[in-house]
Amino acid sequence: MSGRMDWSSRANGPLHGSVRVPGDKSVSHRALMLAAIAEGDSHIRGFLEGEDTRATAAVLAQLGVRIDTPSSGERVVHGAGLHGLRGTTQALDCGNAGTGMRLLAGLLAGQAFDSTLVGDASLSKRPMRRVTGPLALMGARIDTHDGLPPLHVHGGQPLQGIRYELPVASAQVKSALLLAGLYAAGDTEIIEPHPTRDYTERMLAAFGWPIAFAPGRAKLSGGHVLRATDVEVPADFSSAAFFLVAASIVPGSVLRLPAVGLNPRRTGLLQALQLMGADIAVEHRREAGGEPVGDLVVRHAPLHGVELPEALVPDMIDEFPALFVAAAVASGTTVIRGAAELRVKESDRIATMAAGLRALGATIEETPDGAIIHGGRLGGGTVESHLDHRIAMSFAVAGLVAAGAVRIGDCSHVATSFPGFLELANGCGFALQVAP
Ligand code: S3P
């Protein structure tokens, strides 16, 4: 991670053009992990060259997996097989990535060797008992630091499948348990309070592992084999989200976002923005790599506040920072409830967005599980990203409609999920600069 880098964003007129956002973070992490323990060579195309996913690749390389990079956005993973990973005494650094650390905890729980997972300052504050608790029920032994990283995973523990009802909707926890379930005796069955992204389930099936799944449930048994397969990673809807909000709120804008992943467990923001009056069309719906994709065309439209349906929350869990900006410049009031999970993301996203928007003059009330946002005009000012990529990018969008420049503190983490954001944003009309 490079040193502190502030950004400055300001209004610059309408946004135009075609914006090709990078590969999906969730899919990229999973493709690496499953390919690493498969038999044979898997070719991944559209791989996200972000710091989070590169950290996962580096961890797998430390565990003895050979991964080639024929070109940017491409990986060839030479699978080591289910029992082919090699232990190391070095710490395995997941960087900023909650997905990397939690999924790897599940994968490593089934190995014969010990491992230690560490992360950066933000990840080191994120709760891990949600994975280590149910993994312990399967027989895993994982030490935490009072529920926080580092995680020390003891190897050589025989695992037993469980039936587990998740207390909180979390694709990371579900995926960690399914990965441990590959190494467990008997069935592992996961039931979710709300369906979450099902990439692990779909990808396990694509790699030939028998798995039964439907929205909100998944079941597999141990003792099978993963066979190498090629993975085409769609563009990340969560990265497209910033441009959907940006073009919606800047008068005169029209943006096209080609080939964006449209897995229904990811596109809640599309519905939320449409409820607010946004003009977003989906063109050329098709399948790529087993996932629905489409081209998004977004035009400026006046937005109004809404009571956000709680059922949408899990399907847009990463898009709230962007939605907060849309709500802050919409007419009327937006009410968000049932989103307490936002408090344990890369930052406490309710608190960081509320503090930043207030610094720009917005009126916003925080609640334990959401916020009440009164739409109006934004002024210039200084906000902090709190080492959170999505907070930084959301305030870059806010700068487009603020009366003065918005200075965003410490944007170095944007590269965790969206390398090249600044250049891509400026290419379609942002006025975003590294601040002196
Ligand atoms: C992810 C799941 C979500 C999401 C994260 C990626 C995944 O986290 O916020 O960015 O790839 O499984 P939770 O499982 O904590 O909700």
> For 141-185, what is each residue's pLDDT tens digit?
999 999 999 999 999 999 999 999 999 999 999 999 999 999 999
Both structure tokens of 145: 């630091």
Strand partners, 334: 373
Ligand 1 proximity of 346 Cβ (cutoff 6 Å): no
Ligand 1 proximity of 53 Cβ (cutoff 6 Å): no
End-to-end CA distance of the chain: 19
Ligand 1 proximity of 239 Cβ (cutoff 6 Å): no
Cα–Cα distance, 15 to 89 (Å, whole number): 50
- Domains of the chain (ranges, CATH numbers): 7-22+234-434 (3.65.10.10), 25-232 (3.65.10.10)
Q: Are 8 and 411 in contact (CB under 8 A)?
A: no
Cα–Cα distance, 107 to 142 (Å, whole number): 12
Ligand 1 proximity of 26 Cβ (cutoff 6 Å): yes
Whole-number Å distance, alpha carbon 174 to ligand 1 midpoint, is 10
**Is 349 annotated as contributing to ligand binding?**
yes
**Is 358 annotated as contributing to ligand binding?**
no
Both structure tokens of 429: 């009309």
Both structure tokens of 19: 């914006």
pLDDT of residue 1: 43
> Which residue's CA is minimally distant from atom 10 of ligand 1?
318
How many helices (DSSP H) and strands (DSSP E) are in the chain? 12, 23
**How far is residue 188 CA from its own chain's centroid?**
25
Give the full edge-to-edge strand order of the sheet including 370-374.
Answer: 333-336, 370-374, 363-367
Ligand 1 proximity of 131 Cβ (cutoff 6 Å): no
**Is 98 annotated as contributing to ligand binding?**
yes
Cα angle 172-76-94, degrees, rounded to a multiple of 5: 35
Q: Which amino acid is at 375?
A: G
C-alpha neighbours within 13 Å on the C-beta side of residue 73: 13
Residue ranges for the chain with pLDDT beneath 50: 1-2
Which of ligand 1's atoms lies nearest the C-alpha of 345? 9
Cα–Cα distance, 395 to 317 (Å, whole number): 18
Helices (H), 138-226: 171-181, 199-206
Pocket test residue of 130, 172, 201 for ligand 1, highest count of atoms within 8 A of CB: 172
C-alpha neighbours within 13 Å on the C-beta side of residue 396: 27
> Which residue's CA is minimally distant from atom 5 of ligand 1?
99
Whole-number Å distance, alpha carbon 4 to ligand 1 midpoint, is 26
Q: Are 328 and 373 in contact (CB under 8 A)?
A: yes
* 115-127 residue pLDDT tens: 999 999 999 999 9
Q: What is the dihedral of CA 243, 248, 252, 253, to 10 degrees?
A: 20
**Is 26 annotated as contributing to ligand binding?**
yes
Both structure tokens of 170: 């979390």
**Is 30 annotated as contributing to ligand binding?**
yes
Ligand 1 proximity of 238 Cβ (cutoff 6 Å): no
